[in-house]
Amino acid sequence: MEKFVIHGPVKLTGEVEISGAKNAAVAIIPAAILAQGKCVVENVPNISDVGLLCRMLQDMGARVRFLTNTTVEIDTTYLTNPVVPYELARHMRASYYFLGALLGRCSEASVSMPGGCCFGVRPIDQHIKGFEAMGAKVSIDGGMINARCDTLFGAHIYFDVVSVGATINVMLAAVRAKGITILENAAKEPHIVDLANFLNSMGADIRGAGTDVIKIHGVDMLHGTTYSIVPDQIEAGTYMVAAAATGGDVLIRNVIPKHLESITEKLEKSGALVVEYDDAVRVTRKGPVEKINLKTMPHPGFPTDMQPQMTAMLTIANGASIVTEGVWDNRFRYVDELRRLGAQISVDGKVAVVQGVPKLTGAPVKATDLRAGAAMIIAGLIAEGKTEIEDIYHIERGYEDIVGKLNRLGADIRRVSIPDSPLVQAL
């Protein structure tokens, strides 16, 4: 087992380069299945979720080759086995994108119920509603989601909730369906647009991605392509908050400032200065962190995937901030860990009241999920003394080289191995 050990406090200064977007990569890699030919995907983040998806593809018979650290070539010509087993699917949510992609390619798919971060119940009814509307038969048996069809037909689908996953999955199934599919109340996140651009570069006909109505004209065939993934909005936001939380001065490069607007707005309200350039933002903070209120919402609202990091910063604000989670039922599990560092936070359902304290003090904590792990890192950078973070595999699912990037900004963070406790060894 490994853990991160952070000595704080520190003011982050310097420049950091943002990697390709995890949540775009985890949709685009399964989407390569739909091509007749090779796809070369560039600006792929070097994270464990990407490695796992590549293993799933190989398991199905695809050829996957890394041309560089961040460029992957995927050839699914000889794909034979439309099955994603439990051992692989249980580690991540995005494994379910193979359902839509395999339905589109092979008219059948068998994917184990997905894993991923635990925020309470994570239903997939909207994905199934979409597939069924297009003529697929879907059943859940022995923990496997099985979908099959003779022919997929375009359909008019109204999503009952705004769902990133359902929008992506149904879009994947629809690109090669017969006729026109219209998705209403679709999600509008930057990774939805990136996936649509990737599919269009393969010959798909998708219009309206980035709005809440997406129109897809099915095509008979998609060809291989070369495509570069957009920068990661959430990784960029995490470094923005880390810079502001530590009272630092950081230039965050390779970003799309437009994607960061809701984060920028909240950081400015909290006393930070954010300067936008064409493909970079500079974040500084000289005065105190001011209390703010925020509510997470689907894009273009404030992203739920930035809620824990922002809460970590607000633990040292002047006064009480109110943080409302508007997407997930249960995304405050990490608050207990922040309390170990001295944070004063009370949670009632989907609302947290964060009473700012003058300082945090280092302590052992756990990463309870990916973004909660990022929040622990930010808290560890602010806190006085040593913070040790366990269960860092969550963090490494989604942040490329976070230790190297932070250390180059002046942090003191190390990844160290921990021997199993005598209790575990005895088991």
Considering only 3, 91, 127, 405, the residue that binds ligand EPZ (CB under 6 A) is: 127
Residue 124 C-beta-side C-alpha neighbours within 13 Å: 26
Candidates 200, 146, 140, 139; CA nearest to 174 is 200
Q: Mark residues 59-98: x for contact with ligand EPZ by CB under 6 A, - for none.
A: ----------------------------------xx----
Residue 308 tokens, joined? 């824990």
Considering only 47, 72, 398, 409, the residue that binds ligand EPZ (CB under 6 A) is: 398
Q: Say what the alpha-carbon torsion angle 54, 59, 64, 66 is, to the nearest 10 degrees.
A: 50
**Beta carbon nearer to ligand EPZ, 94 or 252:** 94
Considering only 51, 123, 143, 404, the residue that binds ligand EPZ (CB under 6 A) is: 123
Is the peptide bond between 288 and the residue preceding it cis, with omega within 30 degrees of 0? no
Which is catalytic among the residues 39, 54, 117, 149?
117
Q: Mark residues 367-386: x for contact with ligand EPZ by CB under 6 A, - for none.
A: ---xx---------------
- Tell the smallest beta-carbon distance from residue 277 to ligand EPZ (Å): 26
d(Cα 190, Cα 229) in Å, to the nearest integer?
Answer: 11
Measured from the Cβ of residue 363, the count of other Cβ atoms closer than 10 Å reads 18
Stretch that binds ligand EPZ, among 8-16, 65-73, 118-126, 407-415 (CB under 6 A): 118-126
Residue 246 is a binding residue for ligand EPZ (CB under 6 A)? no
Considering only 95, 163, 309, 368, the residue that binds ligand EPZ (CB under 6 A) is: 163
**Beta carbon nearer to ligand EPZ, 297 or 320:** 297
DSSP 384-421: BEEEEEE-THHHHTT-TTHHHHHHHTT-EEEEEE-PPP
Active site residue 117: yes
**Contact at 8 Å (CB) between 109 and 98?**
yes
Residue 305 is a binding residue for ligand EPZ (CB under 6 A)? yes
**Contact at 8 Å (CB) between 104 and 177?**
yes
Considering only 117, 206, 352, 403, the residue that binds ligand EPZ (CB under 6 A) is: 117
**Beta carbon nearer to ligand EPZ, 94 or 138:** 94
**Contact at 8 Å (CB) between 260 and 252?**
no
**Beta carbon nearer to ligand EPZ, 74 or 370:** 370
- Cα 379–chain centre separation: 20
Candidates 384, 372, 374, 368; CA nearest to 405 is 374
Measured from the Cβ of residue 83, the count of other Cβ atoms closer than 10 Å reads 19
Considering only 95, 126, 197, 225, the residue that binds ligand EPZ (CB under 6 A) is: 126
Residue 325 is a binding residue for ligand EPZ (CB under 6 A)? no
d(Cα 80, Cα 229) in Å, to the nearest integer?
Answer: 27
Pairing of strands 222-228, 35-42: parallel
Q: How many residues bind ligand EPZ (CB under 6 A)?
A: 24
Considering only 260, 310, 327, 377, the residue that binds ligand EPZ (CB under 6 A) is: 327
Q: Which residue is nearest to ligand EPZ (CB)?
A: 165
Stretch that binds ligand EPZ, among 7-15, 73-81, 157-165, 195-203 (CB under 6 A): 157-165
Catalytically annotated residues: 117
Binding residues for ligand EPZ (CB under 6 A): 23, 26, 93-94, 117, 122-127, 161, 163-166, 187, 304-305, 327-328, 370-371, 398
